[in-house]
Amino acid sequence: MPLSEHEQKLLEQLEKQLHEDDPKFASSMGSDPGRSWSTRHLVIGVLGALAGILLLLLGVSLQLILVGVLGFVVMGAGVYYATMRSSSGKAKSGNAARKSGKPRSSFMSNLEQRWDERHRGDS
C-alpha cells in the first residue's frame, strides 16, 4: 500500500531531520550511493562458504577436529566476504556534516509533538 502525500512529506522531513541531528547514524542506516553490492564479492564469498562447508563435513567424517574448525572458519569468512559492500568513494565524516546549531533533542521533541497532535485529533 503506497504512502499518501502527507505521509511521504512527513517521512522526508523526519529523514532530513535525522540527517541533521545524527548524520553518522543516518548514513549507517541508509543506503549510501557510494557503496554497492559487488557480484564478485558475492560469488567469491559463496564459493568460500561452500568450501568451508565441505571442509567442515570432511573434518566431521574423518573425525579431525582441526579440519572441522578450519572449515567452520572458512565458511564464516566466505559469508562475511559475500555480504561486504564495495566502496567506490570515501564517506563524509560525521562531524563535518553536522553544522546546524539545533540541539539533539529537537528530533525527539518534534516526534513527541506530532504524536500528541495525532492523538488529540483521534479523540
105-117 pLDDT, tens per residue? 677 788 888 888 8
Residues 62-85 have a mean pLDDT of 93
> Assign residue 63 a region: left if phi > 0, alpha if psi is -120 to 50, beta otherwise?
left
Residue 93 pLDDT greater than 50, yes or no: no
- Higher-confidence residue of 23 and 42: namely 42
Residue-range domain boundaries for the chain = 37-84
Q: Coil, helix or strand for 35?
A: strand
Look at the block and give the residue holding cell 503506497: 2
* pLDDT on residue 115: 81
> What is the structure's pLDDT at 104?
53
Return the pLDDT at 95. 44
Predicted confidence (pLDDT) at residue 29 exceeds the cutoff of 80: no
What does the pLDDT average to over 84-97? 52
Q: Is 14 exposed, middle or buried (0-12, 13-18, 19+ CB in 10 A)?
A: middle
